[in-house]
Amino acid sequence: MFQVLIGKKAKKLFEDLDKKTKDKFLIAFNVLEVNPWPAKEFDFSKIEGLQDCFRIRVGKYRICYYVNTDIREVTIYRIERKSETTYK
Does 87 or 78 have the greater pLDDT score? 78
Residue 54 C-beta-side C-alpha neighbours within 13 Å: 17
Spelled out in words, what is the top-level CATH class assigned to the domain 3-81? Answer: alpha beta
pTM for the full predicted model: 0.84
Query: Residues 33-62: pLDDT tens digits?
Result: 999 988 888 888 898 888 889 999 988 999
Give the pLDDT confidence score for residue 87 in this predicted structure: 54
Residue 83 C-beta-side C-alpha neighbours within 13 Å: 4
Distance, in Å, from the CA atom of 55 to the CA atom of 46, rounded to the nearest integer, reads: 6
Residue ranges of domains in the chain:
3-81
Give the pLDDT confidence score for residue 44 in this predicted structure: 85
Does 88 or 32 have the greater pLDDT score? 32
User: Which residues, 6 or more positions from 82, have their beta carbon under 8 angstroms from its beta carbon?
Assistant: 57, 60, 61, 62
Q: What mean pLDDT is predicted for residues 6-35?
A: 93
